[in-house]
């Protein structure tokens, strides 16, 4: 769509830009850049800094009106500008005295935020590649779709301005779309094709991140079981270094209290790779590493440098029981000095306590491991032993590093709150894997998070989310599945107004947590928006079970709309008596809206669960091809 309404001419505004722009003292908020999309028929908050206590003028290219404001004692200004109906391109000039700056190639349309963890971050083509990626890229010359990639940053204190990749907004084309969120782009494309207006899509996502990282301090405070994290933040003035030191000290104390195996049971630890790739797959926790070295008499009484290469995440090193240093980050090569008075000829022991919070741990394989004193070098690359001191998986609550993207509030403060001045249409959200096994916490937490976002973007802002896809070993009966439990917890968000859920349980891959079919995910999200926000006559909901009854040792379920199983047999159900074990059920369609379930192992079935496994096999759909969501009635 290319439209133009009356206002300052583009040519006049562009001519005005040229004067004083290079040395301009005006700095606009990070979301106000060339190529931006502004929310139509709404309000543009022109936010930035300029000279202190000075008049600031805004000349929008879509109107003859000049908007004025005064900067405060810090130079900050916030001027509200009415936005036009869908159209463009426009230019906008911001002027303060002799200083002026401008924004070019602006479109007015709808702005959507896409956020979550890796399945939302998943690019069209890059670290992951969606199906039919090349075809999608070749057809991505779509200048009426604009992309804004929020830079991945973290902080325990809220930030005012946002940071963006590529300098801010970019037009969608084959080059810019490749690293962008596939779900975000595909959603924008379907909305744009259907409605015919410019669409801006803001990508604020980061793989592996839990919901609490995207939630404010108050939102986390009123969710269950975050007392320890809040105590650590408030008790250390939100200083990540102080918090980390405190947390590491607590973990080391716990590790010291652990009962280590006798010397004969210590195992060999390779130094050329992280321990996940060798002896400790998927291990997070505290590990003791030790090595005996022979010190030549010729360097006795001389200082000695210990080089341990890269270690992840944190470590404390000891020489004959005395601390010689501590470090963090696997990119920082460890160099610790043993004072001259501690260096004696003969046998000596190096002991290193390593804390690994998440992902890879231990020796990184980077750097040369050796002890050096003058011209003498002692190799340290072999002969290391290890013992587990503390396995986080066995703790009631897994510790999280305060400096990391996983910590409560860390991403809300830098990637969501700074976007508050931006007026948006709504949010699409794809997240949940990082909160598996914490389903009781997730329900209230996600509602608090939505409340946080709505406090800055409007209490009725649409919030549409994706229920987790299938992943893991296929099983017919898994009544206590942690993945099923988190899917149920996700549905708690539906208790809030103007929320909706796109079901993706049928789109998974048992061996890949990142299924490639992002087209269907985006389509199901777009159906929600097209129906609820654009008035299109499309359905976005599958049938729901509304009634159950036990008849002659069989369980009958009644749905609120017609069903269409993918095969003759109805699959995906497990049933149980009022008290007792669940068993796989044989199912059949009695009529268009009714299913009958039975099992030779269950008399008088009362309880039922559908698609209640990590990787379900249910085949119930509505007549329009949308899958019935996992549910239970017990």
CA distance 451 to 259: 45
Instruction: Give the mean model confidence (pLDDT) for residues 294-323.
Output: 96
Alpha-helical regions (H) of 261-400: none
Give the pLDDT confidence score for residue 261 in this predicted structure: 80
Q: For residue 214, how many C-alpha atoms fall within 13 Å in the half-sphere facing its CB? A: 31
- Alpha carbon distance 325, 303 (integer Å): 14
**Other CB atoms within 10 Å distance of the CB of residue 9:** 12
Give the DSSP letter of residue 262. Answer: P
Residue 235: which H helix or E strand, with range? helix 227-235
What pairs with residue 370 in β-bridges? 307, 379
Write down the pLDDT at residue 5: 39
Evaluate if residue 4 carries a pLDDT over 50: no
pLDDT reported for residue 20: 45
Secondary structure of 557-625 in the HEC alphabet? EEECCCECCCCCCECCEEEECCCCCCEECEEEEEECCEEEEEECCECCCCEEEECCCCCCCCCCEECCC
- Dihedrals phi, psi of 188, to nearest 5 degrees: -60, -40
CB atoms within 10 A of CB 460: 10
* pLDDT at residue 264, as a whole number: 84
Task: Read off the pLDDT of each residue in 133-162 and give the average, rounded to a whole number.
Answer: 97
Which pLDDT tens digit goes with each residue over 344-401? 999 999 999 999 999 999 999 999 999 999 999 999 999 999 999 999 999 988 999 9
Is the bond leading into 2 cis (omega within 30 degrees of zero)? no
Residue 81 has pLDDT above 80, yes or no: yes
Contact 5, 84 (CB under 8 A): yes
Evaluate if residue 10 carries a pLDDT over 80. Answer: no
Q: What is the number of residues in the chain?
A: 634
> Which of the four pLDDT bands, split at 50, 70 and 90, describes residue 7?
low
* Secondary structure of residue 67 in the 3-state scheme: strand
Tokens of 422: 């931006």
Average pLDDT over the chain, rounded to whole? 95
> In the structure, what pLDDT confidence band is assigned to residue 22 with cuts at 50, 70 and 90?
very low
Distance from first CA to last CA of the chain, Å, rounded?
52
Q: Averaged over 436-443, what is the pLDDT?
A: 96
3-state secondary structure of 4: coil
Three-state SS at 83 = coil
At residue 257, the pLDDT reads 86
Residues paired with residue 92 on neighbouring β-strands, in sequence order: 60, 103
Q: Is the pLDDT of residue 17 over 60?
A: no
pLDDT band at 72 (very low <50, low <70, confident <90, very high): very high
How many CB atoms within 10 Å of residue 422? Answer: 25
Angle between helices 182-195 and 518-532 (to 10 degrees): 40
Alpha helices for 305-357 (secondary structure H):
none
Residue 109 predicted with pLDDT over 80: yes
% residues pLDDT > 70 (the chain) = 96
- CB proximity list for 385: less than 8 A, separation 6 or greater: 266, 267, 268, 269, 289, 290, 291
pLDDT in tens, 231-290: 999 999 999 999 999 999 999 999 888 887 888 889 999 999 999 999 999 999 999 999
Q: Kindly tell me if the per-residue pLDDT of 163 is higher than 70.
A: yes
Per DSSP, the three-state class of 113 is strand
Per-residue pLDDT of 214-236, as tens digits, reads: 999 999 999 999 999 999 999 99
Q: What percent of the chain has pLDDT over 90?
A: 92
Lowest mean pLDDT among 254-268, 423-437, 613-627: 254-268
């Amino acid at each position: 769509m290319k439209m133009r309404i009356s206002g300052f001419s583009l040519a006049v505004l562009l001519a005005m830009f040229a004067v004083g722009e290079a040395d301009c003292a005006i700095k606009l908020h990070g979301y106000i850049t060339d190529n931006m999309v502004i929310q139509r028929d709404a309000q543009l908050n022109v936010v930035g800094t300029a000279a202190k206590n000075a008049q600031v003028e805004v000349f929008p290219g879509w109107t003859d009106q000049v908007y004025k404001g005064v900067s405060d004692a810090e130079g900050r200004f916030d001027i509200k500008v009415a936005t036009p109906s869908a159209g463009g391109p426009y230019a906008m000039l911001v002027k303060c005295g002799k200083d002026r700056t401008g924004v070019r190639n602006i479109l007015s349309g709808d702005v959507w935020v896409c956020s979550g963890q890796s399945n939302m971050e998943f690019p069209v083509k890059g670290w992951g590649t969606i199906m039919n990626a090349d075809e999608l890229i070749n057809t991505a010359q779509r200048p009426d779709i604009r992309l804004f990639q929020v830079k991945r940053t973290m902080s325990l204190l809220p930030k005012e301005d946002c940071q963006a990749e590529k300098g801010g907004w970019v037009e969608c084309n084959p080059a810019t779309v490749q690293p962008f969120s596939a779900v975000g782009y595909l959603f924008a494309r379907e909305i744009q094709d259907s409605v015919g207006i410019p669409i801006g899509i803001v990508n604020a996502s980061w793989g592996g991140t839990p919901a609490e990282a995207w939630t404010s301090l108050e939102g986390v405070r009123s969710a269950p079981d975050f007392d320890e994290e809040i105590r650590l933040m408030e008790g250390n003035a939100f200083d990540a270094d102080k918090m980390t030191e405190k947390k590491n000290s607590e973990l080391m104390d716990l590790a010291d209290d652990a009962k280590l195996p006798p010397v004969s049971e210590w195992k060999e630890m390779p130094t050329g790779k992280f321990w996940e790739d060798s002896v400790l797959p998927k291990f997070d926790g505290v590990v003791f590493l030790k090595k005996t070295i022979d010190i030549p008499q010729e360097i006795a009484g001389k200082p000695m440098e210990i080089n341990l290469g890269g270690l992840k995440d944190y470590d404390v090193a000891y020489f004959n029981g005395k601390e010689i240093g501590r470090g963090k980050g696997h990119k920082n090569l460890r160099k610790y000095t043993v004072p001259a008075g501690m260096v004696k000829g003969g046998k000596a022991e190096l002991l290193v306590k390593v804390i690994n919070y998440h992902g890879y741990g231990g020796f990184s394989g980077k750097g040369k491991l050796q002890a050096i004193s003058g011209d003498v070098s002692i190799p340290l690359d072999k002969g290391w032993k290890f013992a587990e001191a503390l396995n986080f998986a066995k703790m009631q609550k897994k510790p999280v590093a305060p400096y990391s993207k996983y910590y409560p509030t860390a991403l809300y403060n830098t990637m969501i709150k700074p976007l508050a001045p931006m007026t948006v249409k709504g949010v699409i959200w794809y997240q949940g894997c990082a909160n598996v096994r914490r389903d009781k916490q997730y329900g209230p937490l996600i509602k608090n998070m939505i409340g946080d976002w709505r406090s800055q973007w409007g209490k009725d802002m649409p919030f549409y989310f994706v229920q987790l896809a299938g992943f893991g070993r296929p099983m017919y009966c898994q009544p206590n599945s942690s993945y099923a439990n988190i899917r149920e917890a996700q549905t708690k968000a539906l208790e809030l107004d103007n929320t909706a859920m796109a079901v993706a349980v049928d789109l998974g891959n048992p061996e890949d947590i990142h299924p490639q079919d992002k087209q269907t995910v985006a389509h199901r999200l777009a159906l929600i928006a097209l129906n609820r926000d654009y008035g299109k006559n499309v359905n976005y909901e599958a049938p729901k079970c509304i009634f159950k009854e036990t008849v002659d040792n069989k369980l009958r379920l009644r749905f609120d709309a017609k069903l269409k199983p993918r095969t003759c047999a109805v699959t995906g159900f497990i049933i149980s008596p009022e008290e007792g074990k669940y068993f796989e059920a044989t199912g059949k369609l009695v009529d268009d809206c009714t299913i009958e379930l039975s099992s030779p192992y269950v008399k008088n079935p009362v309880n039922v669960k559908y698609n209640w496994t990590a990787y379900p096999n249910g085949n119930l759909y509505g007549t329009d091809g949308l899958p019935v969501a996992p549910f239970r009635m017990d």
